[in-house]
Amino acid sequence: MPPFLPYGRQAVDDADVEATAAVLRSDWLTCGPEVEAFEREFAAAVGATHAVAVNSATAALHLAMVVAGVGPGSRVVTSPITFLASANAAAFVGATPDFADIDPVSATLDPAALAATWRPDTRAVVAVDYAGQSADLPALAAVARARGAVVIEDACHGVGGAFVHDERPWKLGGHPWADLTTFSFHPVKTMTTGEGGMLVTDDPEYARRARLLRSHGMERDPARLVGLGGAETGPWVYEMQELGWNYRITDLQCALGRSQLRRLPAFVARRREIVARYDDAFADLPWLQRPGLRSEADRPHISWHLYTVRLDFGALGRSRADVMAELRAAGVGSQVLYIPVHLQPWYRRTYGYAVGKCPRAEAFYAEALSLPLYPALTDADTDRVIAAVRALGPA
């Protein structure tokens, strides 16, 4: 029996193992030189001035809200087709998470829907780069900045990707249309640190406060110490300047991240190859809609975290659960990404959101299914996925 093909998985090799083993043999396991090196290298890779490594992308999103001054009395608009954290981060700081509908082609936040959803208390927009394809960041920024709001790019799906604007490619995290960008290094993402995330920005004050808050708000820089009521000064002195959190990441994780970062171009290239094979193989299926592109110019620059198709379950004559079971029986995993966040019970109870708020997102969810996509998939594996999907339809 051929091995089961999950919808996503990490790609760890001997170089990754040796990188983490070297840290285990060193004097530092956490908060050491690997963290600082990973931040420098990642910032350079995405074209940002500052990078702050943290223990999860959720932590990065939370810190982005805090340093941008989002809090009680503020409204934060994001896409409903995303993981819970994109919206939850607003609730963490006492703001109101809200949702605007998606562009039906790319499944990213629609700028026109954002403008229509806008309220006077809206202070931030979280633009999610769904499946690795960027949201229309220039258009979203035009809506938000004209109204005095901050733009946070949730590029958790988009490590290593870019988009084209004015005939020029712009790296996710390295362009002028987001004030802060967050990335995820969860094992199913394009590269991994086991768990972990990164906040990048060109604003030095945002970066300084994010670093402070990721470690309990403790300041150690002698130039910034305000004095502890006549206490001694010395290398051991720290001062808690703000109420922060333990969002620190370890040297072990960052050594893995540095090793993975060196292979990121190869990871992305293989994902693009697999997407191209899928696109060609599914082009003639009337009951399957392939992932759409906002712009054909973006195609060679998308990093493709997910390959999410839309299936006409009515035409197939069975439910999504039935289809997923059929694929699993053929050794092919699949996943539903995502249930619209505004339909989650807590959001319904807390904010009164209901079916019909974002109809395009709800329609997308009803048909969405993500197929296996990760660099270790061989051409033979990809052919197995293609055969299993094609077998769903009429003979």
Strands 96-99 and 75-78: parallel
Return the pLDDT at 14: 98
Nearest to 321 by CA among 336, 306, 331, 337: 336
The string of DSSP codes covering 45-69 is: HHT-SEEEEES-HHHHHHHHHHHTT
Domain locations in the chain as residue ranges: 14-263, 266-390
State the Rg of the chain over Cα. Answer: 22
Q: At what angle do helices 379-390 and 320-329 cross, to 10 degrees?
A: 140
Q: What is the pLDDT confidence band of residue 232, given thresholds at 50, 70 and 90? A: low
Q: What is the pLDDT confidence band of residue 157, given thresholds at 50, 70 and 90? A: very high
Convert the pLDDT of each residue in 71-122 to its tens digit.
Answer: 999 999 999 999 999 999 999 999 999 999 999 999 999 999 999 999 999 9
Convert the pLDDT of each residue in 30-85 to its tens digit.
Answer: 989 999 999 999 999 999 999 999 999 999 999 999 999 999 999 999 999 999 99
Q: What is the pLDDT confidence band of residue 296, given thresholds at 50, 70 and 90? A: very high
- Do the first three CATH levels of 14-263 and 266-390 match, i.e. the same topology? no
- Residue range 284-294: mean pLDDT, rounded: 97
Return the pLDDT at 226: 80
In this structure, which CATH number among 3.40.50.620, 1.10.287.3510, 3.90.1150.10, 3.40.640.10 belongs to the domain 266-390?
Answer: 3.90.1150.10
- The answer, yes or no, to whether residue 230 has pLDDT greater than 60, is no
Return the pLDDT at 235: 78
Per the residue annotation, which of 189, 305, 310, 342 is the catalytic one? 189
Name the architecture of domain 14-263: 3-Layer(aba) Sandwich (3.40)
Return the pLDDT at 231: 59
Question: Which stretches within 223-344 are classed as H helix?
Answer: 251-282, 313-316, 320-329
Q: Dihedral of CA 205/209/211/212: which sign?
A: positive
* 52 Rama sector, left if φ>0, alpha if ψ -120 to 50, beta otherwise: beta
- Residue range 247-255: mean pLDDT, rounded: 98
According to DSSP, the residues that pair with 198 across neighbouring strands are: 53, 183
Convert the pLDDT of each residue in 183-228 to its tens digit.
Answer: 999 999 999 999 999 999 999 999 999 999 999 999 988 878 887 6
| CB atoms inside a 10 Å sphere around CB 266 | 11
* 109 Rama sector, left if φ>0, alpha if ψ -120 to 50, beta otherwise: beta
Convert the pLDDT of each residue in 12-32 to its tens digit.
Answer: 999 999 999 999 999 999 989
Return the pLDDT at 224: 80
Residue 189 appears among annotated catalytic residues: yes
- What pTM does this model have? 0.97
